[in-house]
Amino acid sequence: MLSDKRSKLNDEFNEACKKLEAKILEKKKPFLDQRKEIIAGDLENYGDLTEKFDATHEELKTKVSAIVKPPKKEGEEEETVKEPLDVSYLKGKKGIPDFWVRAIKSNKLIMDEVKNNDEKIIDLVTNVETVTKENEETKNMELTLSMSFAKDNDFFTNETLSVTLEFEDEESVKEIRGTKIDWKEGKDVTLKKIKKKQKHKKTGETRTVVKTVDASSFFNIFKDKKVSADGQEDSEDENDNRDKIDEVQQTVEDFHDLLIPEALEYYLGLNEDFDMLGMGDEDDEDGSGDDDDEDEDNSKKDKKSKKSTADGGDEADGEAKQECKN
């Protein structure tokens, strides 16, 4: 009974976290809107912010110049000095046209999902944003990712693609609703054509036929998916569907939790070597590449904190606190 009461307090704590997050996101919105206007070139008058920036920049330059680095020890490798991004190419241009393209390409987790055929389309991204809200009918939380693309592009007629995750609980997605992409003729990167040989049962003659099958693509995240009802699919198909839903969830959450809040840092290249999962090159030193790839996939799926199934032990308290902290 005591454990149950404490568990209910955990639920109360998580509910308070949701309300606090919604409140803070609402406070962030004006700044994100201003960022969007600056990127698009719609906001060019920065008022007194320019003077404050110049003064702060001079102060930081003075502090940096006063830093004395310790002498290099014998055998120690020379520290690589990261060059700041040269933004002189923006002179004469409206806004920052490649802001989101550079930011996305600096995020390794997201780029892992971008295939070779997707990259030309990613180069057309003009804006990225996410929104969280409660579904009025089901009362479930929803997370929506929206991506805008250059008008009149060669791949599809849509200007904005969106995907909405509806959660059945804090961790699990029950349904994915995406934009139907109006692909132009021959430009659908989510499909590919393969040649297969068929043998006639009676004559024994063989012929080559061309079939259109699903292709691995980042843009599969915009396809509708739903968790199947118990018993309506065999276990293999159900597991495959669940895996695809988990992959979409992870990608959308990477945009929401990592890319969008730190978009400027990714654009400037300050986060390009950031490895939050400890998946460095040193993992391959023992030569067991296959095992490392498997561990990496598992790490990416398990990146977000897991809620204790007991829902009453100390672990639940700790993870609830960590979730609110995040």
What pLDDT score was predicted for residue 230?
65
Tens digits of per-residue pLDDT, 152-172? Answer: 999 999 999 999 999 988 889
- Residue 161 has a CB neighbour count (10 Å cut-off) of 20
User: pTM, whole model, 2 decimals?
Assistant: 0.75
Q: Name the β-bridge partners of 199.
A: 206
SS3 144: strand
DSSP of 178-217: EPPP-BPTT--TTEEEEEEEEE-TTT--EEEEEEEEE---
What is the residue whose two structure tokens read 């992870």? 250
- Tokens 């955990």 -> residue: 10
Cα Rg, the chain, nearest whole Å: 24
The pLDDT value given to residue 238: 84
Which residues touch 268 (CB under 8 Å, ≥6 apart)? 84, 85
Q: Which ranges of the chain have pLDDT less than 50?
A: 274-275, 277-316, 320-321, 324-326
Question: For residue 284, what pLDDT is reported?
Answer: 44
Beta bridge partners of 134: 141
- 97-111 pLDDT, tens digit per residue, is 999 999 999 999 999
DSSP secondary structure of 1-65 = -HHHHHHHHHHHHHHHHHHHHHHHHHHHHHHHHHHHHHHHTS----TTHHHHHHHHHHHHHHHHH
Residue 158 is which amino acid? N
- Where do the domains of the chain lie, and which CATH numbers do they carry? 2-44+87-280+292-301+315-325 (3.30.1120.90)
The upper half-sphere exposure of residue 7, i.e. CA atoms within 13 Å in the direction of its Cβ, equals: 11
| Residue 232: per-residue pLDDT | 57
Q: What is the pLDDT of residue 304?
A: 45
pLDDT at 270: 87
Query: How confident is the model at residue 271, as a pLDDT?
Result: 80
